[in-house]
């Protein structure tokens, strides 16, 4: 792997209210419309926040093969495209404590140019893969008694996202 990249600054930020698992899946389907091969997406949020639900919707939007489920125990799962779109590489880095060294064993830098790579729990572990990434932070909405409300903060980081119109993501 190459030397670490320089710290990247957010190019754009958007906040989205999500009120149900169905809306989280729809956010994933909308996200598929703005992603292209080579994009790195980092998902951050507590257990049960909706990271896998969002990724499932993303897989539907990309038109990939296989059920998108949490890859917690296999660490990474590749979903090949059914058509001519990119593959989806879904990584759950929750159990990886070694940072970049353990991530290097997954060869994500090899997959990245031809795929959309989504990493759950990737903070502090995958930033060096690319100067350009989309970081989604999922927070439970304060005061939501049904435990379904979320606020998703979308941060485009790097030149790839500098002029990107992320308003299409608003549900």
The pTM score is 0.84
Parallel/antiparallel/unpaired status of strands 115-120 and 40-45: parallel
For 4-70, strand residue ranges (E) read: 10-18, 40-45
Question: Averaging pLDDT over each range in 37-51, 63-77, 87-101, which range is the top one?
Answer: 37-51
Q: Give the angle 37-43-49 at the CA atoms, nearest 5°.
A: 140
Tokens 């091969």 sit on residue: 37
Determine the pLDDT at residue 128.
80
Rounded distance, CA 117 to CA 109, Å? 10
For 19-130, strand residue ranges (E) read: 40-45, 76-79, 87-92, 115-120
Determine the pLDDT at residue 163.
87
| pLDDT tens sequence across 128-155 | 888 899 999 999 876 655 567 999 999 9
> Stretch 107-132: mean pLDDT, rounded?
80
Rounded distance, CA 108 to CA 98, Å? 15
């Amino acid at each position: 792997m190459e030397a670490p990249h320089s710290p990247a600054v957010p190019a754009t930020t958007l906040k989205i209210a999500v009120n149900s698992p169905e809306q989280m899946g729809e956010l994933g389907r909308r996200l598929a419309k703005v992603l292209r091969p080579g994009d790195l997406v980092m998902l951050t949020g507590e257990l049960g926040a909706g990271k896998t639900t969002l990724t499932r919707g993303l897989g539907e939007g990309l038109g990939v093969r296989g059920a998108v489920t949490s890859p917690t125990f296999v660490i990474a799962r590749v979903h090949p495209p059914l058509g001519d779109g990119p593959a989806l590489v879904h990584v759950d880095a929750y159990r990886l404590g070694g940072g970049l060294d353990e991530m290097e064993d997954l060869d994500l830098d090899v997959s990245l140019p031809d795929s959309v790579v989504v990493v759950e729990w990737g903070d502090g572990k995958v930033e060096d893969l690319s100067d350009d990434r989309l970081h989604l932070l999922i927070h439970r909405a304060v005061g939501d008694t049904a435990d379904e409300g979320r606020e998703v903060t979308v941060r485009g980081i790097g030149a790839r996202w500098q002029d990107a119109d992320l308003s299409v993501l608003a549900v």
